[in-house]
Structure 1
Amino acid sequence: MSELPQPIPLRSQEWFGKRGKDGFIYRAWMKNQGIPAHQFNNKPVIGICNTWSELTPCNAHFRELAQSVREGIIEAGGFPLEFPVMSLGESMMKPTAMLYRNLASMDTEESIRANPLDGVVILAGCDKTTPSTVMGACSVDIPTIVVSGGPMLTGMQRGQPISISDVWRLSERVKTGEVSTDEMEEAEACTCRSRGHCAVMGTASTMACMVEALGLTLPGNAAIPAADSRRKVLAHYSGMRIVGMVRENLLLSDLLTRQAFENAIRINTAIGGSTNFVIHLLAIAGRIGVDLRLDEFDDLARDIPLIVNLQPSGQYYMEDFFYAGGLPVVINQLLPRLHGGCRTANGLTIAENYGEVAKHPTDVITPVDNPVKAEGGLAVLTGNLCANGAVIKPSAASPHLLTHRGQAVVFETIEDYKVRINDPDLAVTETSVLVLKNVGPVGYPGMPEVGNMGLPEKLLRAGVTDMVRISDGRMSGTAFGTVVLHVSPEAAVGGTLALVETGDWIELDVPGRTLTLLVDEAELDHRRQQWQPLPLHMNRGYWHLYQTHVQQAHLGADLDFLRGHSGSIITRESH
C-alpha cells in the first residue's frame, strides 16, 4: 500500500506556528483585526497584492476585485491577507511611470518576502503595475497567480467608436484646424467611459496578454472587460486556485521556463502587442534567471503574422476581442508553433487549456493562413546607430517608410523638440528623419513614451501623416507610426545616437533589420572625442539610485543589482 503524499510545509508557519514569545506576538497582533485562532492553524496564507489607487484610474476598481479574490481563497480553505504596494498610474505620474517600475518591483519583492505568505494573488492593470509586480514576485519565487483588471468598454462619440489611440489623430487634426477644441473636449468625455485600462491593444492589454501567454493566469484572463461580471468570476476562481498552487508547491520558476518566454514572444507578435512588451519581458526573464536576448525576439517572431485586428495596428477594440473569444482563440490557432507542454497556473499545459477552443466567425481574429498582415507586430533592428539593438512595430508603421533614406533633423532633448518642432523656419521635409536624443533610461530619466514625436505642424497642414522617427525612448502602446524606439546604447551614455547631427543621412531597412547612420567611422571617432554627457537630473534619492544602476533597454532597463532571484528565505528573526 503506497504512502499518502506529505503536505507541503507552509512558509507562514515560521510565523504563526511558533510557540513561545515570538508566536504569541505574531498571532496576538493579528487578532486585533478580529481573526479567530483557528485561522492560524496550518492554513495557507494568501497575500492579495493590490495595486489599487485613485491616482491609477485603470486600477481604481481593484477593491471590488480583491473582494472576489478573497471569497475564492476562503472557499478553498485559505487565509487571505490583502496588502498594498506602490501603484503606478501611467496617465498621471511624472516624469514617467517607467522610472518607478523598478521601485515598485522592489516594494513588491520585499513585501512578499518579509511577510508570512505562502502564495500571492497579484492584482494589476495599468501598464507598469503588471511587469513591476511580476518582477518582484519572481525575485521571491513562491506560488503566484495574476488577475488583470480588464480593459474598459469601447468609447462612443456621435455613434462612432473612439479610444485613447484617437488622441494622437485628434491632436494633430486640431493643429490643422480639422477638429475644433470643442470637439476635442467632447471626445475627452467619451473616450474612457467605464472602469478598466485602455480599450485597445496598448501596453496594459499587451501586459494582460503577456501574463496569460506565460501561464501566470487562468485561461481567458486577458480580454474580459473590467465592467463585465465575468471579470469578478475569474478573480474568484483565481483566489481558489492559488490555494491549490500552494498545496502543490507550484512556483513561478516552474511556470516561467525558457519555453514559456518563447511562447509569449510568438503570441505577442500575433496580437500586435506594444513594443513595451520587449523591455518588460526582458526584465522579467532577468529576474527569474532565464537568459533571453533582444535579437531572439526577432528570430522567434519572424514566421508569425498579425492575426488580431485591433487598434492601433488594426480596426477593432479589446471589447470586440473578448466577444471574438479573446486570447484563447489566438493561442489555439498558434498551437502548432508553440511549446504546448508548458505548464500554467491551473496545473494544466498550454495545449490542454487551449487545444479545444471554439473559433468564432469574426474578422477580429483571422486565421493564420489569412492574416490581417503578413508582417507581425515587432522587428528588432541592428546597425551602427543601435549597436545593441532597437525595435519597431511594422504593423503600426507606414509600409512605404519601412525602407527609407533621409536626412536627420536632430533634437537634443525633449525640451528642445517642444520648442522647435512647430517653428515655421525648421528645415524639415516629409523625407526627413526626426531624431530625439536623451530620452532613454538614464537620459530622461526613466525612458518616457515620447518616441512617437508629433509631426511638424507645417507638414501636417501639407497633408503629411507619417515620418520616420528615431529615439532612445519608448512610445505608448496606443500610438502608431514609423517609429524606431529603444535605441541602445542610449545617447546619455555615449551611444552612437549621441553623435548624430542635423543633416546626417540615415538609412532604415526594416525588411533587412538594419538602422544605419551613413557617416564614416573617422568622423564618428572625432565626434566621440568631443562628446560630453549631460549632468544627472538628481543627486539624491531613488532618482540617483536609478540613474547610476539602471541597465540599458536591450537588457530590460532593470537595476543591475536586482537581476536574478534571491528566494523567499529570511535569515533574521524579528524578535
Structure 2
Amino acid sequence: MCAYRSSEWFGKTGKMGFLYRSWMKNQGIPDDMFDGRPVIGICNTWSELTPCNAHLRDIAESVKKGVLEAGGFPVEFPIMSLGETLLKPTAMLFRNLASMDAEESIRGNPMDGVVLLTGCDKTTPSTMMGAASVDLPTIVVPGGPMLNGHYNGEQIGSGTAVWKLTDDLKLGKITQDEYLAAESCMSRSAGHCMTMGTASTMACMVESLGMCLPGGAAIPAVDSRRKVLARMSGRRIVEMVKEDLRMSKILTRDAFENAIKVNAAIGGSSNFIIHLTAIAGRIGVDIHLEDYDNLGSSIPLLLNLMPSGKFLMEDFFYAGGVPVIMNELNDKMNLDTLTVSGKSHRENIVGKCNCYNREVITSYDDPLIPEAGIVVLKGNLALNGAVMKPSAATPALMQHTGRAVVFENIEDYHSRVDDPDLDIDETCVMVLKHVGPVGYPGMPEVGNMVLPKKLLEKGVTDMVRISDGRMSGTAFGTVILHVSPESAIGGNLALVHNGDMITLDTKNRSINVDVSDEELSLRRKNWLKPAYVTDRGYVGMYVRHVQQADKGADLDFLTGKSGDEVLRDSH
C-alpha cells in the first residue's frame, strides 16, 4: 500500500481503521476505494448566496470524473463561501476566516491532494491562502466568467455598467424601467463578472502563477470546455500527488513576478495587490508593495477589456486568453517556471498562443497604453504606501493639486455627497476616511466614490479620490486606494481637514497633504481613536490582528506555512 497521507486514516488496521472506513461507507463507497489510492479533496465554494459560484456543484462533478478516471478517490467538501454582491458588511472582512476554514479542513481530513473550486472575488485568494499554509499538491479550477452582457444593442459589463447606468439614472438620461431592464441584460448566465474585475483578475492570477491548467482563466462558465478543464484537472491532481508536486514548488518568487507582470498587461484589479501579497505571506515568499511598481508599472496594457477598454472576458477567450498575453510578454516573463501541468509556462503555451483578434489583445509593440501597471505612491499622506490603477485613471489628473473635501466615514459621505450646498468643484480632491481594514471593518470597495450629482450634471466624469479602502476591479477613475497606515489606527489620513491642499504626483510616485509636520503633530494630539465596532467573535479578533493593506491585510498570526501535520491524533 502506498504511504500516502490518507493512509494514516484509511490504511489503519484494527478499531481505528474500522471507524474511519465504516462511517465513509454509509455513502455507498465500495471497499476498493480504500485500497491505498490517492484521496483528492475537492474544496467547493458553492453557494446560492454567492451567485458567481452557484454553478460549482456541476463543475465538481466533472472534477470527480477526472479523479476517478485517474485512479483517485474524490471527496467533495464545502467551506465558507464569500459573495461580493450580497455579503455584508463586505466579503473582504471574511476572506481570512474562509482561509482558516480551508486550511483547517484540508489539514484535518484524510486527503493527499486538493482541487480548489473558485469564482467570486474572495473565494480564490481565501482558498489559495488556506491551501498554501498546508502545502499539499493543489490545483485550482476557476469557475469562469459569465457570457457577455448585451443591452440595447451594446455590450455591457458586470459592475462597470452599474457605475455608468447609475450616473445616467441620477441625471435622468434613462428611466427606472430601463435601469431595471439592464439588470437582466448584464447578468445572463452562470459565472463571475465578465469584466476585468477582481474575479477575472484572480482567475488570470491563478493561471499566471501556474496554479491552473493552461488557458483555464478565460473560458466562459457555461462553455463545455470549462467542464473539460475541470475533468482534466481532476485527472492531473492525481498525478500531482504521485509526483509530490506541492504548492511551494510552484509558488516561487519567479511565479509571483510573472503574476505581477501579467496583471499589468491585462489591466487587472488593484485588489490583486492585497490578495497576491497575502498568498505570498502564507507560502513564505517575500513580496513588498514596491515590487508591484518596480515590476509592473513599465508593462504596457495589452488587453482591451472593461473597465480599461471596451471588450469582455468572452472576447478575451476567443482571442486566445492568458497564453497570448504571456507570449507577448515573453522577454519580460520567467516562462521556465514550473506549473501544475508538470511543465513550464514556455511548454504550456506552445500551440496555444496565437492571437485571433488584435483589437482585443494588442501586440507588445503596439499597446493600448505604454505603461499600465499598478503605481505605488508614498508621501506624508501614505507613509507606508497607497496604490493607483493608471489604466482606469484620467491622464490629465495624474498630476493634480486640489482642495480636500473630507468625508469622515461612509455614512457621512452618503448623507452629504448630493447636498447642493456641498462646497466642492471638479478641482477638489474627495477624501474618505475610516474605510480601511480596521476602520470599516474589512476594507470595503467604496474608494471609487460616486461624484456629487451637481458635478455630474456639469458633465464632470472624474475627480481625484483618496481613501484607505478598496475599489471594485470593475470600477474606474483617478482613485487613490489602500492608504497605509489607515485612518482608524492614526495614519495621517485621519488628520486631513477640509480645505487642506493635496497633491497627487504620479510621475514622482507621491501623494502629499500640504500641512507641516508640526501642524500634523498638533492635530494628532487632538485626535481620538475610534472605538472598535465590536469586541465579539471573529470580527473582534479581526480588528485586533489584521495587518495593514501594504502587508496584504492577512491576520498577523496566519502568515507563514504551518504544514500538513495534524496537531494531535486523539485516536
Tell whether the structures are fold-level matches, with TM greater than 0.5. yes
Which of residues 381, 387, 395 in structure 2 aligns to 1:391? 387
Which of residues 395, 399, 406 in structure 1 aligns to 2:402? 406
**Partner SS for 1:395:** helix
What is the aligned-residue identity percentage? 63
Shift of 1:359: 2.5
Structure 1 residues without counterparts, runs of 5 or longer:
1-6
- Corresponding position of 1:129: 123
**Partner SS for 1:345:** coil
AA aligned opposite 1:244:
E
- Corresponding position of 1:498: 494
Q: Deviations over 1:326-375 (max 9, x none)?
A: 11100111121111221000000111112442232421000011001112
Residues 1:433 and 2:441 are matched in the alignment: no
- Corresponding position of 1:202: 197
Which of residues 80, 85, 90 in structure 1 aligns to 2:84? 90
Shift of 1:162: 1.2
Q: Deviations over 1:33-83 (max 9, x none)?
A: 111111111100000000000000000001110000000000000000000
Residues 1:42 and 2:36 are matched in the alignment: yes
Which of residues 212, 219, 225 in structure 2 aligns to 1:224? 219
Residues 1:322 and 2:317 are matched in the alignment: yes
Shift of 1:179: 1.5
**Partner SS for 1:560:** coil
Which of residues 50, 56, 64 in structure 2 aligns to 1:62? 56
- Corresponding position of 2:97: 103
1:332, 1:355 within 8 Å by CA — same for their partners in 2?
A: no
Query: 1 CA distance for matches of 2:455 and 2:374?
Result: 27
AA aligned opposite 1:267:
V
Map 1:338-417 → 2, pairs under 5 A:
338-356=333-351, 357-417=353-413
Query: 2 CA distance for matches of 1:206 and 1:398?
Result: 21
Q: Deviations over 1:517-540 (max 9, x none)?
A: 111111001001111111100111
Shift of 1:303: 2.3
Query: 2 CA distance for matches of 1:12 and 1:355?
Result: 36
Query: 1 CA distance for matches of 2:8 and 2:334?
Result: 38
Q: Deviations over 1:116-163 (max 9, x none)?
A: 000000000000000000000000000000000000001111221112
- Corresponding position of 1:289: 284
Shift of 1:268: 0.3
Q: TM-score, normalised by structure 2?
A: 0.99
Query: 2 CA distance for matches of 1:211 and 1:167?
Result: 27
Residues 1:19 and 2:13 are matched in the alignment: yes
Query: 2 CA distance for matches of 1:144 and 1:216?
Result: 8
- Corresponding position of 1:146: 140
Which of residues 247, 254, 260 in structure 2 aligns to 1:265? 260
> RMSD of the alignment, in Å?
0.9
- Corresponding position of 1:3: none
Query: 1 CA distance for matches of 2:384 and 2:273?
Result: 14
Shift of 1:498: 0.4
Q: TM-score, normalised by structure 1?
A: 0.98
Which shifted more, 306-315 or 348-357? 348-357
- Corresponding position of 2:208: 213
Query: 2 CA distance for matches of 1:343 and 1:508?
Result: 40
Q: Deviations over 1:273-320 (max 9, x none)?
A: 000000000000000000100011100013210000000001100000
- Corresponding position of 1:114: 108
Residues 1:81 and 2:71 are matched in the alignment: no
Which shifted more, 87-96 or 294-303? 294-303
Query: 2 CA distance for matches of 1:149 and 1:341?
Result: 27
**Partner SS for 2:329:** helix
- Corresponding position of 1:158: 152
- Corresponding position of 2:182: 187
AA aligned opposite 1:345:
V
AA aligned opposite 1:37:
D
**Partner SS for 1:515:** strand
Shift of 1:212: 0.4
Query: 2 CA distance for matches of 1:574 and 1:422?
Result: 61
- Corresponding position of 2:414: 418
Query: 2 CA distance for matches of 1:542 and 1:262?
Result: 33
2:447, 2:468 within 8 Å by CA — same for their partners in 1?
A: yes
**Partner SS for 1:486:** strand
Query: 2 CA distance for matches of 1:514 and 1:367?
Result: 31
Query: 2 CA distance for matches of 1:160 and 1:312?
Result: 15
Which shifted more, 176-185 or 115-124? 176-185
Query: 2 CA distance for matches of 1:311 and 1:444?
Result: 28
**Partner SS for 1:49:** strand
Query: 2 CA distance for matches of 1:312 and 1:503?
Result: 32
AA aligned opposite 1:404:
H
**Partner SS for 1:390:** strand
1:8, 1:249 within 8 Å by CA — same for their partners in 2?
A: no
**Partner SS for 1:562:** coil
Query: 2 CA distance for matches of 1:72 and 1:409?
Result: 57
Query: 2 CA distance for matches of 1:335 and 1:289?
Result: 26
Which of residues 299, 307, 319 in structure 1 aligns to 2:294? 299
2:436, 2:488 within 8 Å by CA — same for their partners in 1?
A: yes
**Partner SS for 1:380:** strand
Task: Report the number of matched residues.
Answer: 569
Which shifted more, 417-426 or 352-361? 352-361
- Corresponding position of 2:522: 526
Residues 1:486 and 2:482 are matched in the alignment: yes
2:2, 2:37 within 8 Å by CA — same for their partners in 1?
A: no
Which of residues 245, 250, 256 in structure 2 aligns to 1:250? 245
AA aligned opposite 1:217:
C
AA aligned opposite 1:231:
R
**Partner SS for 2:404:** strand
Shift of 1:8: 6.6
